[in-house]
Amino acid sequence: MNKPLRFLSSIVLGGTAVLLSSCGNMNTASRSGTSFSFDPPAKKPTNISAVKIHISTGAGKLYVTEGDEVLLATPVGVGTSAAPTPKGNFRIESKTRHRRRQSNPGAGYPMTYWQSFHSPAYGMHWGFVKPYPSTHGCVRMPLNAARKVFEMTRIGTPVNVSTTQPWDSTVGASLPRLDDSPLPNPPVSYLNSSKVFADQEQGKMWNFN
């Protein structure tokens, strides 16, 4: 296994080190909150063809890398034991910025920044994040992280899903604990409106921010 990659530890402006965001709260794992307060620092890739996604189902973390550098790291929600996130090596097959769930239950529910990696139904997208496996196999990301990851990838970007990743004990250990379980569901009228996508493009949603 390769040694843990070097993580972005400072914000550098200009040239090839332009950040997608200059704010974030990558502090300690003891820090907790909801996913709507989480805005991870992200470094813009210099070569998008070298970008890779690594998902740790055991730690509930996602890492975006380019070469020997972690560009972004975020807590995520993954599948339960009854409906696990598939493990293996995949590639991003499709990307839909403003997508809605097609099947019931929950048809029409926004699945913003959708990136499929295993046909027909597994992908990464915005969703409520909990600190334990809670999805039907998809990978749910905090809103700001989902938007930034979407902007850092392309069709064909490699995706590795494993029980562990090399950075779980380093970069991953410094990430906050996110728990959206106390949050109420937004009104259906809001979720079904175009405003939900307009708000999400601004990194906010309903009254959670």
**Architecture of 6-92+129-185 per CATH?**
Beta Barrel (2.40)
Residue 84: which residues within 8 A CB-CB, separation 6 or more? Answer: 57, 78, 133, 137
For the ranges 24-28, 41-45, 74-78, 188-192, the lowest mean pLDDT is seen at 24-28
pLDDT in tens, 127-156: 999 999 999 999 999 999 999 999 999 999
Query: Which pLDDT belongs to residue 24?
Result: 35
pLDDT attached to residue 68: 87
Question: Does residue 28 have a pLDDT over 80?
Answer: no
pLDDT at 4 over 90: no
Does the pLDDT of residue 10 top 90, yes or no? Answer: no
| Pairwise CA distance, residues 121 & 54, whole Å | 19
Domain extents for the chain? 6-92+129-185
Higher pLDDT residue, 209 or 101?
101
